Amino acid sequence: MAAKKILIADDESRMRKLIKDYLRRDGFEVIEAADGLEALAQFDLNPDTDLIIMDVMMPKLDGYGALKKIREKSKVPVIILTAKSEEEDALEGFTAGADEFVTKPFSPKVLVARVKAIINRGEGGTGSLGENNGKMTCGKITLDENAHTVTADGRDVTLSVKEFDLLAYFMRNKGIALSREKILNSVWDYDYFGDARTIDTHVKKLRSKLGDCGNYIHTIWGMGYKFEVEDK
């Protein structure tokens, strides 16, 4: 199987090298661009690119401008990198068509994990999630997005809409440490103005309904949660 191709667009050469080194260790092919215009040119030369990692602040054409141009002709997944953290910046990125929004500084290992999760999702889950035609299986949990059903350890589980969305989000991001803010923004979206601790309440209910499978949801103290199935 051919290596997945990732385009990194960032005007900082050290940042490109850092990300490139981590991606190559995991078997990815990497191409680079130092500004928005070069990113567009590289994408035109490499239409089989599987994912783009794009910095916002770049010369000639910024990341949002390049993303909008790419979205005119492709649905390739795009992760936006930025030193900014305000909500309006994230909203601008998602409005332009970004799939993920990562704020600097970040962990390269976590970034690579997000790259893998997005590519796996785009392939219909042929990887470890076991996703097929809207179905995802992790351990003893099977979630069917089309039928809106969940089974855990062979029994049907009735979930509220938000509990279902939360479980689906956890399963899609299996093995990735997720902050409460990240979960809130992704599951409740940016129009929600509640306390991030509402996530704790939903997780408690979700764990209870999943029975022993609720142990797949691990608490990361001071941060959030991670969905992980231990191999037996």
pLDDT at 199 over 80: yes
Out of 90, 122, 154, a domain closes at: 122
In a domain, 232, yes or no: no
Predicted confidence at residue 67, as pLDDT, reads 93
In a domain, 127, yes or no: no
Out of 122, 152, 183, a domain closes at: 122
pLDDT at 124 over 50: no
pLDDT at 114 over 70: yes
Q: Do 158 and 196 have their domain in common?
A: yes
Tokens describing residue 47: 């239409």
In a domain, 193, yes or no: yes
Which CATH number is 181's domain given?
A: 1.10.10.10
Predicted confidence at residue 49, as pLDDT, reads 94
**CB-CB neighbours of 136 under 10 Å:** 21
Instruction: Supply the DSSP symbol for 57.
Output: S
Provide the residue range defining the domain that includes 48. Answer: 5-122
Phi, psi angle pair for 148, to nearest 5°? 55, 50
pLDDT at 92 over 80: no
Instruction: Give me the percent of the chain exceeding a pLDDT of 90.
Output: 44
Distance in angstroms (rounded) separating the CA atoms of residues 16 and 21 = 9
Out of 122, 152, 174, a domain closes at: 122
